[in-house]
Amino acid sequence: MYNDSALRVSEPPSPSLPKNARLPINRCNLPAVILGSLRFQQHPAALELDGVAELHVDLFRHLDATADLCQRAEIFQAYMRGHFSLDDLKQAGLQKRHAKSRAKADYLRMMRGWLFDADGREGAVLKGFIESRFGLLARYHKGSLSDFHSEAYHRYTYERCKGLYNTNALEAQLDLLYSFCQYELRRRFPKRSHLTVFRGINRLEDHEVIERLSRTEAVVLLNNLNSFSSHRDRADEFGDYILTAQIPLSKIFFFQDLLPGMLRGEGEYVVIGGVYQVSIDLL
């Protein structure tokens, strides 16, 4: 767990990640002020969630011995079913009166819900997870979340809590999902640090622009979780402008080909937010 209030080195006078966009504590090996900064985009490092590798050492040892990526995905999903009793929720402690409404509230349901509507209940749970683990506050959910007293913020916290209620260690499932994603990215791209991705938007002003560098370059503060596409021709279907960003592999939470049958057709990458330098192109 990292608490940036306990840092011995004083914080830079003008951090690129605003204070109102981060928490002073997280459950990661780097504080939010670093992992959410522009410098991190330029010079990324590995991100590790507290205790995941140690707790699930047998899973990753098994994955190390498996060369085929499809088999690794099968091993991961079988491990998730076994470790969290996803096929026998009664054994996991699910109460009968909640069985119908909460039985499918697992990591797969969260990602499918994100694909359908990033501002839905599953989206609120995932944004809340990023807050808890990485210390990056959500900036948007059906409206701006900059005012903690606003109706939009109260709705977001309600949906987040309701989405987590009576679930089966859901955030622990998401811990493993992110860690498996990072494991796969290291196996598949051992010599790469970044991935070029695209996002279609209608107006740059709808995003939090920290600095406009030129007509085609800007530094922006992204929401704490975002969808991008690896296919530019897919991204241009979602707006009049294209944002192009170099995303550190360590800030990819999930991607289309990680698990079979999940996110199809858009080359989708679910990206952890913070401050990024992006290119802006008019279609």
Query: 13: which residues sit within 8 A by CB, 6+ positions away?
Result: none
Tell me: do 87 and 164 sit in the same domain: yes
- E-assigned strands of 13-158? 25-26
| pLDDT for the residue numbered 206 | 79
68, 168: one domain: yes
Domain boundary among 167, 188, 209: 188
Quick one: 261 and 152 in the same domain? no
Instruction: For residues 114 and 227, state if they share a domain.
Output: no
Does residue 260 carry a pLDDT above 50? yes
- Shared domain for 201 and 184, answered yes or no, is no
Locate 266 and state its tokens: 């858009």
Mean pLDDT computed over 14-25: 85
Q: Has residue 202 got a pLDDT over 70?
A: yes
Asked whether residue 2 is domain-assigned, the answer is no
Domain boundary among 139, 160, 188: 188
- Domain C-terminal end among 150, 168, 188: 188
164 and 183 part of one domain? yes
165 DSSP assignment: T
pTM of the entire predicted model: 0.91
Is residue 140 pLDDT above 90, yes or no?
yes
Residues 155 and 104 in one domain: yes
Where would I find the beta strands (DSSP E) of the chain? 2-3, 25-26, 194-201, 208-212, 217-229, 241-248, 252-255, 268-282
- For residue 27, is it within any domain? no
Instruction: Give the C-alpha separation, 106 to 167, whole Å.
Output: 8
Average pLDDT over residues 41-70: 97
- Regarding whether 200 and 274 lie in a shared domain, the answer is yes
In a domain, 98, yes or no: yes
- Same domain? For 254 and 219 the reply is yes
| pLDDT digits 0-9 by tens, 147-196 | 999 999 999 999 999 999 888 899 999 999 999 999 999 999 999 999 99
Distances from the Cα of 156 to the Cαs of 64, 81, 124, in angstroms?
39, 29, 6
pLDDT > 80? residue 1: no
| Residue at 62 is within a domain | yes
Q: Which two tokens stand for residue 261?
A: 């049958």
218 is in which domain, residue-wise? 194-282
Query: Considering its fold, how many domains does the chain have in total?
Result: 2
Asked if 240 and 202 count as a contact pair (C-beta separation under 8 A), the reply is yes
225-234 pLDDT, tens digit per residue, is: 999 999 888 7
Is residue 267 assigned to a domain? yes
Q: Residue 175's Cα: distance from chain center in Å?
A: 10
Quick check: 247 pLDDT over 80? yes
How far, in Å, CA of 164 to CA of 158, rounded? 10
Q: What b/e readout covers 48-73, taking b as 16+ CB neighbours within 10 angstroms?
A: bbeebeeebeebeeebeeeeeeeebb
Residues 179 and 218 in one domain: no
Distance, in Å, from the CA atom of 207 to the CA atom of 220, rounded to the nearest integer, reads 7
How far lies 249's CA from each of 26, 54, 180, 188, in Å? 20, 22, 13, 11
pLDDT at 261: 77
* Pairwise CA distance, residues 37 & 210, whole Å: 12
Per the domain annotation, does 142 fall within a domain?
A: yes
Of the candidates 240, 265, 266, 270, the one whose C-alpha atom is nearest the C-alpha of residue 255 is 270
Residues 264 and 247 in one domain: yes
The whole-number average pLDDT for the span 40-50 is 97
Q: 67 φ, ψ to 5°?
A: -85, -30
% of the chain surpassing 70 pLDDT: 87
In a domain, 150, yes or no: yes
Model confidence pLDDT, tens digit, residues 100-116? 555 568 999 999 999 88
pLDDT in tens, 71-97: 999 999 999 999 999 987 666 556 565
Which has more confidence, 232 or 131?
131
Q: What is the pLDDT of residue 11?
A: 44
| pLDDT at residue 9 tops 50 | no
Domain membership of residue 129 (yes or no) is: yes
